[in-house]
């Protein structure tokens, strides 16, 4: 008991006097989704350690707030989130359990990217989440648009520079270099997808609106009647009628949604169902650019018959 107390006092003193934040070798960052973790890595390089709290195979609306995630948030200097209530079902639980004042909503180490992008589908009248719509503050799936991802990377660089001024120059240099690579890739993706402009598609959840707007695809319906509400037979009958009238040949969705309904609808309308990765496979070392390349090339191939 005495030893434990002595040890914790010593650790506390050491932490207080020997390791001021700015002198640390690495800024410890946690990101709610793997796309954001990948952007943090681009901007932070070797100056940061970064962990994603969810996987690309998980629906980011519904993540289990496990104790192992609380520990990660407890040790973080910076918490980067998407915002607009994407993580409202699980992130506040982790923040309150983490006992870390830095990464609370009002803390210097909290960044919500939604505040730095051009949001779509922001309701004109207040929407109550109890009505089932999981996008009550606007659509949170902006990371499928590289221009919005670039805006997030820029906000991340400014935040990291403020928290860790010694490395501010490195963060801004990395951001500029990443921005150049991202712009080049985006122009190539736009060129490749240009022949599909105006093509009608159906999706599962309203998570592709930024991508369809960016690339000029026309999303005529979603299998969910409202974001977060599972497909119902009555709604699907409407989707099938509409998709037939618009001659939809492609239905796509994130791989974490069940494919049974999508396959059923695709069969009825004579279309193809394509399951796409729901995010960057950050744990396996994938970059945001590689992830988007995968999404675009699979869409191009599926549409290009």
Measured from the CB atom, the residue of 34 and 227 that comes closer to Zn ion is 227
Smaller CB separation from Zn ion, 103 or 201? 201
How far from 64 is each of 32, 155, 212, CA to CA, in Å?
12, 27, 30
Output the residue with the shortest Cβ distance to Zn ion.
Answer: 227
129 and 88 in contact (C-beta within 8 Å)? yes
Nearer to Zn ion among residue 203 and residue 280 (C-beta)? 203
Taking the complex as a whole, the smallest distance from the CB of residue 205 to Zn ion amounts, in Å, to 5
| CA atoms of 60 and 279, how far apart (whole Å) | 10
Q: Which residues in the 209-228 window bind Zn ion by CB under 5 A?
A: 227
Total residues interacting with Zn ion, rule: CB under 5 A: 1
Q: Which is nearer to Zn ion, 83 or 227 (CB)?
A: 227
Of residues 226-245, which lie at the interface with Zn ion (CB under 5 A)? 227
Minimum distance of Zn ion from residue 207's CB (angstroms): 5
Smallest distance from Zn ion to CB 124, Å: 19
CB of 88 to Zn ion, least distance (A): 11
Nearer to Zn ion (CB atom), residue 85 or residue 200: 85
| Residue 82: CB minimum distance to Zn ion, A | 10
Q: Which is nearer to Zn ion, 92 or 107 (CB)?
A: 92
**CA 128 to chain CA mean position, Å:** 23
Least distance to Zn ion from the beta carbon of 61, Å?
6
Residue numbers at the binding site for Zn ion (CB under 5 A): 227
């Amino acid at each position: 008991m005495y030893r434990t107390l002595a040890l914790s006092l010593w650790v506390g003193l050491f932490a207080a006097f020997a390791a001021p934040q700015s002198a640390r070798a690495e800024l410890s960052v946690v990101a709610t989704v793997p796309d954001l973790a990948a952007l943090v890595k681009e901007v932070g390089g070797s100056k940061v350690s970064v962990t994603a709290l969810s996987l690309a195979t998980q629906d980011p609306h519904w993540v289990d707030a496990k104790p192992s995630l609380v520990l990660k948030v407890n040790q973080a200097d910076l918490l980067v989130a998407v915002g607009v209530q994407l993580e409202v079902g699980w992130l506040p639980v982790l923040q309150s359990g983490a006992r870390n004042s830095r990464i609370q909503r009002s803390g210097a180490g909290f960044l919500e990217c939604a505040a730095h992008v051009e949001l779509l589908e922001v309701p004109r009248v207040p929407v109550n989440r109890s009505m089932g719509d999981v996008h009550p503050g606007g659509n949170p799936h902006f990371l499928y648009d590289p221009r919005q991802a670039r805006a997030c990377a820029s906000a991340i660089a400014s935040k990291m520079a403020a928290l860790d001024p010694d490395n501010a120059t490195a963060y801004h240099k990395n951001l500029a270099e990443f921005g150049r690579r991202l712009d080049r890739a985006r122009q190539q993706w736009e060129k490749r997808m240009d022949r599909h402009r105006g093509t009608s598609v159906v999706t599962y959840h309203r998570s592709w609106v930024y991508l369809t707007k960016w690339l000029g695809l026309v999303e005529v319906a979603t299998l969910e009647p409202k974001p977060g509400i599972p497909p119902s037979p009555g709604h699907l009958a409407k989707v099938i009628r509409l998709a037939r009238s618009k001659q939809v040949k492609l239905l796509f969705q994130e791989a974490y949604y069940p494919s049974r309904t999508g396959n059923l609808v695709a069969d009825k309308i004579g279309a193809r169902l394509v399951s796409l990765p729901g995010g960057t496979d950050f744990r396996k070392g994938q970059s945001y650019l590689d992830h988007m390349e995968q999404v675009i090339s699979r869409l191009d191939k599926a549409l290009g018959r």
